[in-house]
Chains A and B, each alone.
Chain A
């Protein structure tokens, strides 16, 4: 294969703007991390609320949460990205829609964060629900039997164990959000993948650009995995082996 490897490309002055192509990559890295973390905040909080609602004794709330989950996990992420960026402003009241298109700071990034966050929330909700449902019925009985209210049962018994149980699958969701953030390039967010593509177009050194992007993605995900391992160790319950029944 006739390909001229040139790792020096990253130190060349970029086609436009100050700095080198390496600066482009680092800027892409920054936006990947910022968009993903902001989206994760939404996903974790909204997903937790929905997951809890799916298990409560209120049928109406269970229905609302189930409907949310089915809508958001059944529509492709790419389609959702377009909907948030192109369609949502049109559906809003006129003034809000106009503001979203012209006044809102960084509309691409905001749309991407909302999209990724609310999409991942549907997945987090299912993890939270499965965590809660894996706790044996007897634990709930015992908690109610001592006079706790439903809110207290969740706060002190179901959620502390439920979250511990779902740390491994939640790690996967946390990783997915970083990888899925690359879809944001389709609406113009210059994150890591977008920058790699841009460098490829300007320099034809695509192998270098995407190799570096790959390395940077792996560094992010490895960091997440290590972090979650620390979390898992920190919350390990001494002597606890099984989950559901005994």
Chain B
């Protein structure tokens, strides 16, 4: 579904991604973790072409992302993305946030889009909030709307860029619950997160990044089990022991 081969990216002279290769099969959940500044957010933004990369190749569902001839808007419309800071559009009601791309990109009718929006809001437990503005919702609620907004496009894969990092602790679970459910339904997911509980529960593979490199790319059991790189051990000991 998603295949990366030797992806490298530079900001000026600074190399943020070094020869990253990995793949996400259909229906797999892959968790990407690593210290801040390790390039994991940049890597996930390369998958749908939000960030350009200078070397290597990323193929999503048979389409090469880096190819200048690729219709990026079309490709992106099939890949849902959820961001650290939710990024709902503040001047639009919750329903309008969910409808926008359905109508403007997929060409659905307003009624069709609204119907979809309402069923998705019900699914994430927010059907009463449809007519509110994002600023009137809590962080956890906003992030669930953002997930609904991405799902409304009937994506073939979902990208999550630290979806719970900006949330108060008591709101993290309401978002993770939605994500776990999604994973169990067989959605293809690439998730940048520090929530190791989530990784242990639903991930098929865990990728550990440091200094722009994929240091470890292992199945969940291998990653949390014994044989792994020293840097990953240090990282895990820091985030798991409190």
Contacts and interface: CB of A to CB of B under 8 A. Distances in A.
A147 interface: yes
A147 B135 contact: no
Nearest to A136: B85
Contact of B100 (A145, A156, A246): A156
A197 B125 CA distance: 70
B169 to A, nearest CB: 18
B81 A142 contact: yes
B91 A237 contact: yes
Given A157-B89, A238-B135, A239-B135, A146 B83 contact: no
Contacts of A164: 91
A237 B94 CA distance: 13
A139 interface: yes
Which of A142, A144, A161 gathers the greatest number of chain B CB atoms within 10 Å? A142
B34 interface: no
Contacts of B74: 147
Nearest to A161: B91
Which of A160, A164, A238 gathers the greatest number of chain B CB atoms within 10 Å? A238
B91 A240 contact: yes
B191 interface: no
Contact of B45 (A141, A148, A245): A141
Contacts of B88: 142
A33 B241 CA distance: 70
B149 A146 contact: yes
A138 to B, nearest CB: 5
B86 to A, nearest CB: 8
Interface in A220-242: 237-241
Contact of B101 (A136, A147, A161, A239): A147
B133 A238 contact: yes
A240 B134 CA distance: 8
B239 interface: no
Interface residues of A, number: 25
Contact of B73 (A136, A141, A147): A147
Contacts of A12: none
Given A139-B89, A157-B89, A237-B91, A145 B133 contact: no
A43 B209 CA distance: 51
A22 B45 CA distance: 67
A202 B88 CA distance: 64
A138 B90 contact: no
Nearest to A245: B85
Interface in B86-122: 87-91, 100-101, 104-105
A180 B187 CA distance: 61
A152 to B, nearest CB: 6
A139 B89 CA distance: 7
A241 B136 CA distance: 11
Contact of A138 (B76, B85, B132): B85
A149 interface: yes
A141 B50 contact: yes
Interface residues of B, number: 36
B28 interface: no
Which of A141, A157, A160 gathers the greatest number of chain B CB atoms within 10 Å? A141
Given A238-B133, A239-B134, A241-B135, A146 B91 contact: no
Interface string B70-81: 001110111111
Contacts of B4: none
Given A141-B87, A237-B90, A240-B133, A147 B166 contact: no
A146 B50 CA distance: 11
B153 interface: yes
Nearest to A163: B91
B166 A146 contact: no
B193 interface: no
Contacts of A138: 83-85, 87
Contacts of B166: 246
A103 to B, nearest CB: 47
Nearest to B137: A239
Nearest to B49: A144
Interface of B: 45, 48, 50, 72-74, 76-81, 83-85, 87-91, 100-101, 104-105, 132-137, 146, 149-150, 153, 159, 166
Given A152-B104, A160-B89, 11 more contacts: A142-B83, A145-B80, A146-B101, A147-B74, A147-B76, A237-B135, A239-B132, A240-B135, A241-B135, A246-B85, A246-B166
6 contacts: A144-B73, A147-B77, A148-B101, A156-B104, A239-B136, A241-B135
